[in-house]
Amino acid sequence: MVDNRTTPPPLGGSQGVSTPSVLARVGARVREERQEQGMTAKQLAERSGLSARFISQLEGGKGNIAIGRLEQVAQALDTPLESLVADPVVGDIKQAIYSVLRGRNPDDLRRALTMLEQLLDVDRPRAVALLGLRGAGKSSVGPAIAQVLGLRFVELDQRIEAAAGLRLGEVFALHGEPYYRRLETRCLLALFAEAEPCVVALSGGIVHNDEAFALVRRHTTSVWLKAGPEDHMARVLEQGDSRPMANRRNAMAELRSILRSREPLYRQADVRVDTSSLSLAGVVSELGSTLVPHGWRAQ
């Protein structure tokens, strides 16, 4: 039987895999993985969409296999592509770990990841940081997602008020924005120095504080709670805050302008959730599931 598919470029680019040991290693790993799963070569060929002759050549160390075809084989075996071509020692260890974890439920996987991180002293993010304009939903989403993740919730502005001994309005009125931004950076550094991680709600304008925003990007998993300008305005007014409209005939136009200027910076966040299109429960559910790949998991 001849594999009549168009032959793609060989693994490794135009040079192909020229080292016999690499071909032999890939073939041996494919054969071992197939046999471990109780799969015949014919079944692997059918599942991967490749010919039985090709699988035979591959397992015999004679198949100058293209990366696309090797990926098909890996998918058919439900094994990571890199495990088929890795260094023998490292590959064996990774494959052993993968074999132990295969078929485990999500709770077991989370516990395994936690233990591995503790064993290897992995430096994890210090916080989940919520970004967005006033009215994005930080104060409502923050406590809810913190509860889901088993973390404490912190409003950075409350830390700033405590450090200044003043309400925010008084901080701006008496000392101006530069003073507020200095306190913002100082309080953020203090927060990241604490042993216990957290979910922290940040000011809408922290993206214009270069030093503080650099700390956020370096030490947190950042989340942009994205909302339309109408929702921002409505939520702030629902909270009883009429300042956005006070003595401002073009308040909505100003808000749109601020949102437009900050959007490129908010887009630098690791995660984005649209709070205009989802309920609070929906936002928390989506955010909870999204944060797992970033190293955060429910307790």
**Mean pLDDT over residues 293-297, rounded?**
66
Question: What is the chain's mean pLDDT, rounded?
Answer: 80
The verdict on 238 and 168 lying in the same domain is yes
* 86 within some domain: yes
- pLDDT of res. 254: 82
Identify the domain boundary among 103, 118, 142.
Answer: 103
Question: Residue 11: helix, strand or coil by DSSP?
Answer: coil
pLDDT digits (tens, 9 = 90+) for 84-129: 766 666 667 777 888 888 888 877 776 777 677 667 766 668 899 9
- pLDDT of res. 170: 94
- pLDDT of res. 130: 97
Model confidence at 2: pLDDT above 70: no
pLDDT winner (highest mean) among 14-28, 120-134, 178-192, 218-232: 178-192
Here the tokens at position 69 are: 């075809």
Round to whole Å and give the CA distance between 142 and 163. 22
The verdict on 137 and 269 lying in the same domain is yes
- pLDDT of res. 86: 64
pLDDT digits (tens, 9 = 90+) for 22-37: 778 788 888 888 888 8
Round to whole Å and give the CA distance between 110 and 206. 32
List Cα–Cα distances, 225 to 154, 194, 209, 259, 263, in angstroms: 16, 25, 19, 12, 11
List Cα–Cα distances, 65 to 33, 45, 68, 154, in angstroms: 17, 14, 8, 53
Round to whole Å and give the CA distance between 133 and 141. 13
* 51 within some domain: yes
- pLDDT of res. 91: 64
The verdict on 88 and 143 lying in the same domain is no
Q: What percent of the chain has pLDDT over 90?
A: 35
- pLDDT of res. 117: 66
* 119 within some domain: no
* 85 within some domain: yes
The verdict on 141 and 287 lying in the same domain is yes
* 70 within some domain: yes
* 1 within some domain: no
The verdict on 156 and 20 lying in the same domain is no
Domain ranges, residue 283: 127-294
Which CATH number characterizes residue 41's domain? Answer: 1.10.260.40
The verdict on 172 and 256 lying in the same domain is yes
- pLDDT of res. 269: 93
The verdict on 29 and 75 lying in the same domain is yes
Model confidence at 257: pLDDT above 90: no
- pLDDT of res. 134: 84
Q: Which helix (H) or strand (E) holds 224?
A: strand 220-226
- Name residue 92's beta-bridge partners: none
The verdict on 81 and 135 lying in the same domain is no
The verdict on 97 and 163 lying in the same domain is no
Model confidence at 15: pLDDT above 60: no
Which CATH number characterizes residue 177's domain? Answer: 3.40.50.300
pLDDT digits (tens, 9 = 90+) for 200-217: 999 999 999 999 999 999
Number of domains in the chain: 2
- Phi and psi at residue 60, to the nearest 5°: -85, 0
- pLDDT of res. 13: 39
- pLDDT of res. 17: 39
Q: In 3D, which of 235, 230, 189, 246 has the Cα closest to residue 212?
A: 189
**Mean pLDDT over residues 43-66, rounded?**
82
Q: In 3D, which of 62, 265, 179, 64 has the Cα closest to residue 170?
A: 179
pLDDT tier at 68 (50, 70, 90 boundaries)? Answer: low
**Mean pLDDT over residues 75-89, rounded?**
71
Q: In 3D, which of 149, 3, 121, 133 has the Cα closest to residue 72?
A: 3
The verdict on 174 and 42 lying in the same domain is no
Contact status, residue 269 vs residue 217, Cβ threshold 8 Å? no
The verdict on 178 and 52 lying in the same domain is no
Here the tokens at position 207 are: 């993206």
- pLDDT of res. 114: 66
- Phi and psi at residue 223, to the nearest 5°: -130, 125
Residue that has been written with the tokens 């509860």 in this structure: 147
Q: In 3D, which of 294, 291, 293, 22 has the Cα closest to residue 144?
A: 291
The verdict on 171 and 78 lying in the same domain is no
* 69 within some domain: yes
